[in-house]
Every structure is written in C-alpha cells, then in structure tokens.
Amino acid sequence: MNPVVKAPTLILDSGEMLMDSTLIIDYVECCVAGKSLLASDKVERTVALRRISHALMATDKAVQLIYERNLRPVEKQHEPWLERVTGQILAACAALETIITQHPLPMQSGKLSQAAITRAVAWQFINSMLPALVTATDHPQLQTLSIVAESLPEFLAFPPDGPGVVAHS
C-alpha cells in the first residue's frame, strides 16, 4: 500500500499516507481524538518525551540489526557494524530497564500514558525478535511490565502479530 515500504503507514480519509509512529500518534491525537496520552505540563511532558525516546531508540536499533542479519547476505555482513548496533541495543535496553525501575508508570486499563505504552510495545518487539540477545533474565522489569501490558484490553485488542491494517472511524 505504500511504495516507500514503511510500517506503520496510516492511510488518511483523504487517501494520503502518513508514516512514522510518532507522527501518526500526533495526527490521531490532534486531528481525530482531540486528546493526548502526553501531559501538557512542560516539565512532565519533557520527562515523558525523554522516556519515550529511549524506547524508540531501542526499537530503531533492533530493526537495524534484524535487517542487517536477515536481509544482507552473510558474506556481505560487516562485523564492526553488527557489533556497534548490538552495543547500541543493549545500552538502550539497559537504560530503559533502569528508567523503569526508577520511574514506574501505571500499567492499568484506562490509565495508560504514551511512555508506558511505548515501553511495553518496544520490549515485546525487541524481546520477541532478538530473544537470544536481549533476554528477559537481564531485563526483569521490562519483562514484568510487558506481561502486565499484554494482558490489558487495550493491548489484547491489537495483538503483536496483526491485524496489519486497522480501520478507524
């Protein structure tokens, strides 16, 4: 549906495409829902954005590693690059684990913030895609948070494996 081959892609009512999860959330909050999962207070918002940024960087790095391993032929893979990205993923996940320990957020139905959702989604994705590298044993807080999140109705409505296209009204 998108020649740029980028997920997530939101098809707007106008038929135009919108890419990148952060921009899609901004659009939905501003132009559809009229409410936000982020605080409007400057200080609270800055804290939340910083927390979200760690989770997003961890997922971006995981995507890079997965593509390097899965899309590039083995003989063309560059070991120093793999090591660099691996280090970045582990650093981002370690930081995330520390942040979660120091700043737990409510993981309750109806009370979810963007930071809490992003943490849970990031961990589910990274741990399921790179289970040998980023283990639950080394990240117990993330693992617990993910198990709780995935049992909530908000998460059960959108399972990690699909559906790929969600219609909104």
Ligand X SMILES: N[C@@H](CCC(=O)N[C@@H](CS)C(=O)NCC(=O)O)C(=O)O
- Kindly determine how many residues on this chain lie close enough to bind ligand X according to the rule CB under 6 A: 9
Query: DSSP letter string over 130-146?
Result: STTTS-TTT-HHHHHHH
Pick from 152, 159, 154: nearest CA to 128: 159
Q: Give least dist CB 94 to ligand X, A.
A: 20
- Determine if 6 is a binding residue for ligand X (CB under 6 A): yes
Q: Is 83 in the site for ligand X (CB under 6 A)?
A: no
Asked whether 33 and 39 are in contact (CB, 8 A), the reply is no
Exactly one of 11, 17, 18, 21 binds ligand X (CB under 6 A); that residue is: 21
44 forms part of the interface with ligand X (CB under 6 A): no
Phi-psi domain of 87 (left: phi exceeds 0; alpha: psi -120 through 50; beta: other): alpha
CB 4 within 8 A of CB 13: no
Among 1, 3, 5, 16, binds ligand X (CB under 6 A): 5
Closest CB to ligand X among residues 24, 144: 24
Query: In the complex, which residues of this chain contact ligand X (CB under 6 A)?
Result: 5-8, 20-22, 60, 63
